[in-house]
Every structure is written in C-alpha cells, then in structure tokens.
Amino acid sequence: MIRLDLDATGARCSASVERSPIRAISAQARLDSRSARRPGAPPSRVERARSSWWSLRTLASPELASSIVAVGVVLRVAQYLSDRSLWLDESFLALNLLARPYSRLLDTLDFNQGAPPAFLLAEKLAVDAFGSSEEALRLVPLIAGIVSLPLYLYVARRVLAPAAAAGALLLFASVNGLVYYAAELKQYSLDVAVALLLLAVALAVESRPLTVRRALALGGVGAAAVWVSHPAVFMLAGIGTTLLVWALVQRNRRRLGLLALAAGAWLASFAAVYVVTLRELAVKDSFGGAGSEFYLPLPPTSGDEVLRLGRELSPFLTGDLGLQLPVPLAVLAALLGVAGGISLARRSPQRLFLLVAPVGFAAAASALEQYPWGGRFVLFLLPLVPLALLEGARVLAESRLRAGPVLAAVLLGVVAAPSLGSAAYHLVSPRTVEETEPAVRSLGRRFSRGDALYLNHYAQYAFRYYAQHRGAAGRPPPFPVVPAPGGPEGDAPALRSSPPALIVGSERPAPGEVPRRRRVWILLSHLGPEERDLLARLDGMGRLLRAETHPGVVLSLYDLRTSSR
C-alpha cells in the first residue's frame, strides 16, 4: 500500500510503503520467535546490557544531572566561604596584585610568580570592585570552578552514554583537587574551565559541517584562551592536530582550509602572549633545570626513570588532588580506564584523540623542560580520568560476564568512595593550609609597647598581607610594617626588618637572629624541621610565656632576658 503525504503548501511530497496489518503481525511474530530464548537459557548479551543499564535510566535524567551540578557548586562555595587564610603561595600573588597598578601587571612579577594576563586583569578588577579580602581575591577561581561543572556535563554527554556521563560528573564534582583549587588564589581552576570549554567547542565542531561562522568561533575562542590559561596551548595543539588530520583523511579541502584559518588565529595569539609575558617565564630556572622532579623523564633511559615516570603519572589516581586511591585500587582503576580508552577508540577514534592528544603535547613540553608536570600544573588534565573510568565501567557492565553489571557497580563505588567521603568531610570541616590570620589578629591584640617580634623568612609574606591590607585585630598594626621592594626571585624579601621591634629571619632560622628581650613574639609558618628546631632551642634559652598553634602556624611569646647562651 502506498501513501502520499503533502505538506501544507503542497510543495513537497513523500512516499512510504506501508505494510498490511496481516504482514506486519506475521513479521513481528517471526522476530519474537527468533529473540525468544529457551527456559533456563542464559540471557543474551543485548538482554544483559538492557537489564544493567535500563535499570539505571534515572542516571540519565536531566534532573539528576542538575542535582549533581548543584552538589558540586555547594562543595566549592562551602570551601570558598570557609574564609581560610592565604598561605605562602597565595600571599606571593596577592602582594603583586595589591601593590601593582594595571600597567605593571604584565611586567615580571615579584616572588617568582607567573600567571596568564587575563587572569591577572580579572583578579585586579575583583580587588578594585570588592576590596582586598580573601573572598575578593578568590572570586575568579570560584567562578571558574562553578562554570566548569556544566561544561563538564556537556563534554561527558558528548563522549559517554547518558548514565555513564552522570557518574563521571559526580566524580568530577567531588574530586578533592578540583574543589580545593576553586577556592585558591591561583589560576589552576581557570585552567580546568578553559580546557573544558575548548573540548566542548571541539566536540561541537567535529561532528558537524564546518561553516565559516563556526570556524571563526573556533578561532576566536582558541585565540582568547591562550591569554586566560597557559596550558590552553596544549589543548589547542591536541585539538587542532586531531581536527586537521581527520580533515586530511577525509580529503575535505574546504574543512581543511577553514581549520587552517582557525589554527592561524591561535598561533598569532599565542605569539603575542609569548612576547608579552611567556618569554620572561621561559628564561626562569624556577624548577631546577635538567633532571628536576618537575619534568618528565621522557624517554626513560633507566629503571629508576621508569619508576619515576610511573610516580609522576600515578597522582591522578593516588594523589591528594586526584582520586586518593590506595595503590591496589589505583591499579584496578587504571585497568578500568584502559578498557574505557580502548572502547572509546573503537566507537569514535576522533573523539578519543581530541581527549588524549593534549596529554601528549603537555608531556612532550615537560620532557623538553618547557612546562612543569605534576600536581596543580596538570590539574587541567584531571577531568579526563572520570571519563575513562566510567566508559570502562560501561564496557564491564555490558560484557559477557554474568556478574558484569554488579562488578562494574561495586568497582565504581569503591573507586569513588574516597573522593565522595573526602568531599563530605570537607563540607563540614573545610581544608586549611597555613592559618596566619588568627595568629596576626591575636598578636595585634596582645602586642605591647616594648615588645619585639621575630618572623621566620616564610612568614613575612602572609604577615605583610594581613598586617598591611587587613590590619591586626581590626585596627592598624602596633608593630612596624615596612614593605621591601621585592624582586623576581622566589626568596625576595617582602618586609624590611625594623629592629628591635620587628626582625625578619633568614631562610635558615637560628637563635642568634632572635632579640634578647623580656617579651619576644615568635611567628613561624610554612613549618619545617628548622623551625621546629628553633622552637626547641628557644625553650632551653628562656621562659615560654604563651603559645598558640594554628594549622601550619605557631605563635609563641618568650622571655629571653635570662638566656645563658
């Protein structure tokens, strides 16, 4: 039977062949007979897959995805609102931002700091708008951390099955490093957001015809990204290489030309960034040069280097910034991730290369000692881990193993448990590093005329921030605060000593640097063996009058007049 359909204007018609009801019923009966299995026979692979994932339909619902995004936002905002003190690394950057006008933000920064120009500009705008508080200084990373959540959901849904995408989003929302750096005065949260934005744009482009408008958008986003994030260059290198190679394989000259136009915009923008800021960073020997632990030993030339390479790659699974897994579970997770990568390669090799090619470029740059590897420097690669794990879990659940779905669920639960547990714990007890602010506030209340104050070298940076920009106990500090000119070196001074009222110690604190007075305050932070040894020796030299201990910080009051040494 043939049926003709005309649209409202009569301009188009379509013809479809329609079976008679009798033929349709008989065809369905034949299909049912083929798919029916004997009583007691094991279910087919399709039936197992349907039973394992159909029962998880709710994981693919938009409502659940929105709920997970909301949980991720709550975790990040809770860490942000904990109002923890700036620690050493943050105080380095804070002093630059507060002391410099806009015109000097692109100059070489003091205290061996480096950050993308757009990040510094956004931070300066936040300070001008909201003041010099910790919340104002950390506002830009918080916004980046929140924006990364819906971006990750989009990327995960383009790469994974809907249910697996929800699981990957839950891991991403709760991973310790991603939550922590959303409330840290550093650019690494922005690195993650930019990497996800570039991946989202690339995934949107790779499966569609490339028009001039889309090519301009791709070129514009990439050209802007290198001003916002340093590792954006690795993302663009991987994305650009993948898209160009696929266009060559398809022999699509128009697509190839438009991609070359976008890549040209990226290269021109990166060249400008390099001339303006990166050239100064490139000549710094901040990470120890050849053989430094900050660079990957590629290719490894000895057994020790092979082991070191494994240690450098394992923190994604075992480190505090990653999934925090014990080694045996990390091995299982790695196998699951490898299975996920193989599955992605079979389903869509182009998308797999979009994901992993930036890893190769970042590793190559590290091997050439052009970019440090490890920890916060490669935080932008951490979002790839949940994608691989959840794809591997999907493969296991839909495998021929009768217990595949159960094994996948149990393994995922065990892998996700440390991150979820850590997120829940830190929601109640937010992370702290070095709590200098309460120590300075206490000192401001108790510092008397004639007292002396000794700071170890590392305490001077956060101390200057709190004494100069936040005050002590809500009022001007009772001790002298004389800023030093700083300098590009990591150990450049932030304060000048004003003896006998304020003494800034050397990098190796010694009792001889401490004034012998009736009331001498000792403020130590970034504590190490030398600081603890100093306190032990002072205990034997005088009388301890008061002691306060805060996370990463010690404030003590001594009477050293009776010192015999």
User: SS3 sequence, 304-346?
Assistant: HHHHHHHHHHCHHHHCCCCCCCCHHHHHHHHHHHHHHHHHHHH
pLDDT of residue 42: 55
CB contact at 8 A, 166 and 59: yes
Let me know how long the chain is. 565
CB contact at 8 A, 191 and 229: yes
pTM score of the predicted model: 0.87
Q: Where are the alpha helices (H) located in 55-108, listed in sequence order? A: 62-81, 88-99
- Structure tokens, 387: 């994608």
CB contact at 8 A, 195 and 380: yes
Q: Where are the beta strands (DSSP E) in 101-209?
A: none
pLDDT of residue 130: 95
| Cα–Cα distance for residue pair 251/459, rounded to 1 Å | 61
pLDDT of residue 399: 86
Q: Where are the alpha helices (H) located in 447-561, listed in sequence order? A: 459-464, 529-541
Maximum separation of any 2 CA atoms in the chain, in Å: 112
Low-confidence ranges of the chain (pLDDT < 50): 1-37, 39, 45-55, 283, 288-290, 564-565
| Cα–Cα distance for residue pair 236/358, rounded to 1 Å | 7
pLDDT of residue 11: 41
Return the percentage of the chain with pLDDT > 90, whole number: 68
pLDDT of residue 281: 66
Element (H, E) at 91: helix 88-99
Classify 5 as helix, strand or coil. Answer: strand
Place of tokens 């401490």: 514
Mean pLDDT for the chain overall: 86
